Amino acid sequence: MLKLPGLIDPHVHLREPGQTHKEDWDSGTSAALAGGVTVLLAMPNTRPPIFDAATLNLALAAAKAKARCDYAQFLGAGPGNAEWGRHKALPLRAAGLKMYLDSTFGELRLDDMTLWQQHFQTWPRDLPIVAHSESRSMAAVILMAAIYDRPVHIAHISLKEEVLLIKAAKEKGIKVTCEVCPHHLFLTKDDIPPSPLHPSPNGRGDGGEGRLSVRPRLATKEDVDVLWANLDVIDCFATDHAPHTLAEKDGENPPPGFPGVETMLPLLFTAVSDGRLTIDQIIEKSVINPRKIFSLPKQPETWVEVDENARYELHAADLHSRCGWTPFEGWQVRGRVRRVTLRGREAFKDGRALVKPGYGRNVRE
């Protein structure tokens, strides 16, 4: 068995409150443990969104009752809640501030750059800001980071132009970090067949509907190749675990998003087996860097045991997410999580979560 530190996933959607038929804190953190993740950071675009003390309390109460691994909860930047300077106690309870500056399905999108400025001015300087920003809006938010001389973390980059711009910004000393998702490293826009209701003329995916639908969209092979070629620029691996049921994905107006918290580690181990990645890079981008970027405490007596030589197929029926599907169905992968020890207790072993709901701790407390 290969022994790794517990992984950190800084980008997870757990759908609670509001859409627990897709996922909740229990099922989502069970899936996290099965994937070797011992800390996850939950995103705020729930129903209702997490954007003030009342909604943060709602999310944290659910997490306290149900979470099996450790966690923190993001607050969402909205058009009317930028007075963080007056309420620093609230930001201190959160994983950070999430700013939605591009296509998102929720109530938190910020279309006006003067709203961005307000949050950059008032959010405490020592606490993280994460931006969902794509292409040109990503360039704009990096400019904000330069103007206000404060760090910004770019979520789920997917394009050649994005990683090369971040590389140039880092070379100029701008305080920008970024993450990449496994689906943007292992899939292109041509890889997933369309859903039955949305066939395309060439029999492949059409880039916007059904099981192919995700934000940011899947990119070209050239984009994927450039991401791999610039892994040194990318600070973190993050799943953007965004579960929806198959009925929703195959129905009319399918919502964007893939589940992923349980499949990240075997995909990365497969890349190690193929010579595209090293174990040290997994630890750097899934433990060391996210801990530093998000100011997370170390977890004592916490580790993951992986059978690095195990070969098997990914099947949704074997996974723990409530959504019941995976875009990597049938993929041959390497590396199976056999055991997770979390704060001295055996939390997961051979396919079963062993700690009860509520064992997870809020790392901001």
76-133: per-residue pLDDT in tens?
A: 999 989 999 788 899 999 999 999 997 655 667 787 899 999 999 999 999 999 999 9
Q: Give strand pairing partners of 352.
A: 349
Structure confidence at residue 110 (pLDDT): 81
Write out the H or E segment, with its range, that includes residue 100. Answer: strand 97-100
Does residue 193 carry a pLDDT above 90? no
3-state SS, one letter per residue, for 258-320: CCCCCCHHHHHHHHHHCCCCCHHHHHHHHHHHHHHHCCCCCCCCCEEEEEEEEEEECCHHHCC
Q: Supply the pTM of this predicted model.
A: 0.94
Q: What is the DSSP letter of 232?
A: T
Which residues contact residue 111 at a Cβ distance below 8 angstroms, ignoring those fewer than 6 apart?
A: none
Furthest C-alpha separation in the chain: 56
Lowest-pLDDT range of 29-38, 102-111, 117-126, 282-291? 102-111
pLDDT in tens, 316-330: 999 999 999 999 999
What is the pLDDT, as a whole number, of residue 47? 95
Structure confidence at residue 202 (pLDDT): 38
Of 316, 182, 155, which Cα lies nearest the Cα of 245? 316
Alpha-carbon distance values, 54 to 15, 34, 93, 328, 353 (Å):
17, 31, 12, 37, 31
What would the pLDDT profile of 211-227 be if each residue is shown by its tens digit? 889 999 999 999 999 99
Give the per-residue pLDDT at 307. 98
Which sequence spans correspond to the domains of the chain? 2-353
Least Cα distance to 118 among 108, 110, 126 occurs for 110
Structure tokens at 118: 């307000």
Helices (H), 149-255: 160-171, 182-186, 221-229, 246-249
Res. 339: pLDDT tops 80: yes
Q: 25-34 and 53-66 helices cross at what angle (nearest 10)?
A: 60
pLDDT at 269: 98
Distance CA 110, CA 102 (A): 8
Spatial separation of the C-alpha atoms in residues 239 and 260, rounded to whole Å = 5
Q: CA nearest 358: which of 347, 350, 247?
A: 347
Identify the pLDDT of residue 361.
98
- Rounded CA gap, 14 and 26, in Å? 9
Segment (H or E) for 32: helix 25-34
pLDDT at residue 203 greater than cutoff 80:
no
- Phi, psi angle pair for 310, to nearest 5°: -65, 135
Architecture of domain 2-353: Alpha-Beta Barrel (3.20)
